[in-house]
Structure 1
Amino acid sequence: MLVRRSLAAVLSVGALFLAGCAGDDLANDDTADSPESSAAADQGSVTIAGQNFPEATLVASMYEQLLENGGYTVEVKLVDSRDAYMPTFPDSVDVVPEYVGGIVNFLNTQKGGADAKPFEAGDGEQLASDGADLLEGAGITLLDVSPATDANAFFVTKEYSEAEGVTKLSDLEGKSVTLAAAPDCEGRLDCEGGLSDEYGIDVTEVLPLGYASDQTYQSVLKGESELGETSTTDGTLESQGLVILEDDKHIQPAQNLVPAVGADFLAEHPDVEDILNPLMTALTTENLTELNGRIAVDREKPEDVAADFLSQEGLL
């Protein structure tokens, strides 16, 4: 990480030196280094890809607004699952709002197959370090790891929890359940695979209704499924009469938010690091949960919530 930042600093200094040689008028212009002039500069285009669930949409909008403010022309492509965008990253995708455990273990499974031992570090920085070789081999660089973390979680209705005496996932051992979850859940060690193999839960069927989607909530509320997949920062559960079950066997690796950037793209655009890293510092698990609630419960638009947060934090 230190080597990458040093290179970025050298490139930035070089860029300033060349700008200074371009003409005395620019060098003597007091507004040349102002935020307004920086934002107006044409930095080229950037493609953001990510998953299409509320939190990912929110964070992608934050990236989009910050990069546009930094002078980039931004295209955003949101899809159903990581499987859909990773084959194009980093070849035709430049930046992805990611989760440390998610991307590291995706690359690990891609290289070692479905039976590859997952990376399980509970600390985001450590997990990023553990996956450094995989990331480098894929041509991907992780920027600063945020303290905000959002792991997969599984919920039931309060009624089911109380009636069955279920408060943690191990309480479901030996029970047969239908699971409403993301389309790529089946077999994943942090989803159906872990529930079956580590917890001994008899998952009779996985309904691909989406990650933290209305369809998944409704499936559980209506009794079609006993168990649903969401996130630990889901701000809607209490208002719906739903409760998260404790992951007491810790099948979820650290899932700190982190910008994943194509290594070649970052070498050509080192300023992206300075644009996105302050956001990672500003985000916390607590404020992320609150922002998610504004979208899911209060029905505010993700782009409006993103703009409000960025403005309050002094990032725009």
Structure 2
Amino acid sequence: MISLHRTRALAAGLAAATLFLATSCAGDDLGNDGDKSDSSTDRGAVSISGQDFPEAALVAAMYDQLLTDAGYDTDVKLVSARDGYMPTFPKTIDIVPEYVGGIVNFLNSRENGDSAKPFEAGDGEQLAEDGADLLDGAGITLLDVSPATDTNAFFVTKQYSEDNGVTTLSDLEGKSVTLAAAEDCEGRLDCEGGLSDQYGIDITEVLPLGYASDATYDAVIKGEAELGETSTTDGTLESRDLVVLDDDQQIQPAQNLVPAVSSDFLDEHPDVADVLNPLMAALTTDKLTELNARVAVGREKVEDVAADFLSSEGLTD
């Protein structure tokens, strides 16, 4: 365990119904005590938050089921962006499914300003070590870093790529484009900020339509935006005649999955590490992609996919 007192190929390509499903599962099903298994041990309450895009909702469902099985009374509330929960984490939130680069650079920007040099390590363990002081100052501990990783990616239509000779983000240098992306994309070093400053792309407008949402896909397909935000594990783009542009200047830091826990809560409940760390070890990028595909393409319920994976890996009975 790394104790430090950190805006994804089928995973993130989603139809509107899928996003609604994941949000519904996060807001309702995950917090529905009637769906939880009984436990002979009452370990008290635990609050879980995080983002509500399907992959994060899937991992939150796994946390929920594992902690419930361990005897905790869970309360899960997911929101649309990291900005929605970080103001109260870890004060009123105990655990968040996170990405190493995402939380470390969020804390870096909050502490040192939006112009602060980002943490860029491509290795999740190293990035967590680099952000140790920030995490400690925030009262957040990262548990084991998973080998499963997922980073932001940006796409255009195949027609736009062919007509403009664009295959990398550097090919957009000096071009004026509208970007459809997550609600908190503007100014972020791994989103609009990096595209503007590092790549020299003229982002004329950011449409806050959601991360890998149906609205974001539609905006690019219909020509309302030239560029859209998704993830490196999005395998639904080809069927939509969309292509990811290569991040040839590598502005995306390591985004390994990791449980972020209130340090105070962990001091009182050290067994939480024993509950969640085996899940981190079991998850790989390929497995996560397959699980996300079951939600995005197979239209399975988030909680059902989570339960099946936990059982198949021997993490629950």
The reply to whether TM is greater than 0.5 is: yes
The corresponding residue for 2:204 is: 204
CA distance in 2, matches of 1:191, 1:80: 16
Look up the match of 1:17.
none
**Who is 2:73 aligned against?**
73
Q: Displacement, 1:39? A: 4.0
Are the aligned partners of 2:177 and 2:225 in contact in 1 as well (CA < 8 Å)?
Answer: yes
Q: 2:108 — aligned with what?
A: 108
Give the Å deviation of 1:97: 0.2
- Contact 2:291 2:305 (8 Å CA) reproduced: yes
Give matches, 1:1-316, under 5 Å.
Answer: 1=1, 39-316=39-316
Equivalent residues of 1:234, 1:293 under 8 A apart: no
Secondary structure in structure 1 of the residue aligned to 2:212: coil
SS in 1 for 2:105: helix
Deviation at 1:303, TM superposition (A): 1.1
**Alpha-carbon deviation of 1:159?**
2.2
Between the aligned residues of both structures, percent identity stands at 76
* Aligned alpha-carbon RMSD (Å): 1.6
> Which amino acid in structure 2 is aligned with residue 195 of structure 1?
L
The letter of the residue matching 2:292 is: N
Cα distance in 1 between the residues matched to 2:290 and 2:241: 18
Distance of aligned partners of 1:264 and 1:205 in 2 relative to their CA distance in 1, 3 Å threshold: same
**Equivalent residues of 2:177, 2:204 under 8 A apart:** yes
Output the amino acid matched with 2:248.
D
| Cα distance in 2 between the residues matched to 1:77 and 1:258 | 18
Aligned partners of 2:2 and 2:144 also within 8 Å: no
TM-score, normalised relative to structure 2: 0.87
Residue 144 of structure 1 aligns to a residue whose secondary structure is coil
CA–CA distance in structure 2, aligned partners of residues 235 and 287 of structure 1: 14
Q: Deviation string for 1:128-147 (max 9, x for gaps)?
A: 00000110110000000001
Alpha-carbon distance in structure 1 between the residues aligned to 2:241 and 2:304: 27
Q: In structure 2, how many angstroms separate the alpha carbons of the residues matched to 1:242 and 1:64?
A: 35
Which range moved further: 223-232 or 156-165?
A: 156-165
Of the structure 1 ranges 304-313 and 158-167, higher mean CA displacement relative to structure 2 is found in: 158-167
Shift of 1:302: 1.1
Q: Aligned partner of 2:188: which letter?
A: R
CA separation in 2, counterparts of 1:275 and 1:2? Answer: 15
* Superposed CA offset, 1:2-45 (max 9, x none): 778xxxxxxxxxxxxxxxxxxxxxxxxxxxxxxxx994200111
Which runs of 5 or more structure 2 residues have no equivalent in the other structure?
A: 5-36
Question: Is the deviation greater in 180-189 or in 233-242?
Answer: 233-242
Larger radius of gyration: 1
Which structure carries more helix by proportion?
1
Distance 1:69 1:169, change over 3 A: same
**CA offset at residue 239 of structure 1?**
2.6
Classify 1:281/1:250 alpha carbon distance in 2 versus 1 (closer, same or farther; 3 Å): same
> 1:174 is matched by which residue type in structure 2?
G
152-161 vs 207-216, which deviates more? Answer: 152-161
Q: Deviations over 1:190-222 (max 9, x none)?
A: 100100111111111000000111111111111
The 2-side partners of 1:238 and 1:67 are apart by 38
Q: In structure 2, give the amino acid aligned to 1:233.
A: T
User: In structure 2, do the counterparts of structure 1 residues 130 and 170 end up closer, same or farther at CA, with 3 Å as the change threshold?
Assistant: same
Deviation at 1:293, TM superposition (A): 1.5
The CA distance in 2 between the partners of 1:168 and 1:153, in whole Å, is: 11
| Inter-partner Cα distance in structure 1 for 2:158 and 2:313 | 36
Which residue number in structure 1 is paired with residue 12 of structure 2? none
* CA distance, structure 2, for counterparts of residue 57 and residue 135 of structure 1: 23
Tell me, in whole angstroms, the C-alpha distance in 2 between the residues paired with 1:71 and 1:164. 57
Q: Matches of 1:305 and 1:163 in 2, distance apart?
A: 40
Please, which runs of 5 or more residues in structure 1 have no aligned partner? 5-36
Amino acid at match of 2:81: S
Per-residue deviation, 1:234: 2.1
Per-residue Cα deviation, 1:38-94 (whole angstroms, up to 9, x for no partner): 942001111100001111111111111111111111111111111110011011000
